[in-house]
Amino acid sequence: MIIDFTGKRAVICGGSRGIGRSIALGLAAAGADVSICARGAETLEATRQEIAAHGHRAHSGSADLGDAAAIRGYIADAAATLGGIDILVNNASAFGSSDDEAGWMSSMAVDMMAVVHATQASLPFLEQSKGNVINTSSISALRSAARQPPYGAIKAAVIHYTATQAAMYAKKGIRVNGIAPGSIEFPGGVWDRRKKEGSPIYDGVLRSIPFGRLGHPEEVANVALFLASPLAGWVTGQTIVVDGGQLL
């Protein structure tokens, strides 16, 4: 089955690296015009150029996804540049790990409230296009997360909100789904750093995955592309685990 996004306009919040980058490049390769945002200007521009190489409109905006006003400004700019929004991907994370005010506030602002703000800002465009939303959660949402209490709890809230959004927006013709990745390794990512540091946490996670390796961003992106496509036209309110059996 071929997934074709020709003529579709996709916005990825947190799209310059890792899973977000792979989703953006996958959408562009399938024909979509793509906009991405993140904070790091250099990485953002490098990924924008990769998107543009597919021959479609490529837009980027530097935005702090913990700032509601910045999100609204970015969404408005992206929609104006692309001519609307068909697909919104909420992928940003602060990776809050400390069980203190800073850890909880960063996770709430970026992992949860950015989903709320970006979706609400995109809603008028999604209504026009009968589009869809993809929210990135984590398998940490589905079990205890002693190493990252804020991260796991807030990602669980994202799964709940995904189902709630699906119920709220169905009458508008908008589908909302989620992905819950396991441990994903890519250059410069947290697991890549832990591997290079010789962290015992990396070795423990590696042993927990039946296939004997960590996942790749493209493997998560493929599921996101399916959910955003007409092939998943009767799927809404679901969060799909993509973890190579790590939860097993």
Residue closest to 219 by CA, chosen among 233, 237, 205, 240: 240
Amino acid at 244: G
Cα separation of 10 and 50, whole Å?
A: 15
Query: What is the number of other CB atoms lying within 10 angstroms of the CB of residue 230?
Result: 10
User: Do the beta carbons of residue 13 and residue 89 sit within 8 Å?
Assistant: yes
Q: Is 161 a catalytic residue?
A: no
Angle at 211 between CA 209 and CA 212, to 5 degrees: 70
Q: Which of 74, 151, 161, 202 is catalytic?
A: 151
User: Do the beta carbons of residue 13 and residue 43 sit within 8 Å?
Assistant: no
User: Do the beta carbons of residue 161 and residue 153 sit within 8 Å?
Assistant: no
Residue 16 vs residues 4, 60, 226: alpha-carbon distances, Å? 22, 9, 20
Q: Dihedral of CA 215/140/158/245: which sign?
A: positive
* Tokens of residue 12, six digits: 């990825």
Structure-token match 């989620």, residue found: 178
* Tokens of residue 100, six digits: 């203190």
Query: What is the number of other CB atoms lying within 10 angstroms of the CB of residue 114?
Result: 26
Which residues are tagged catalytic? 151
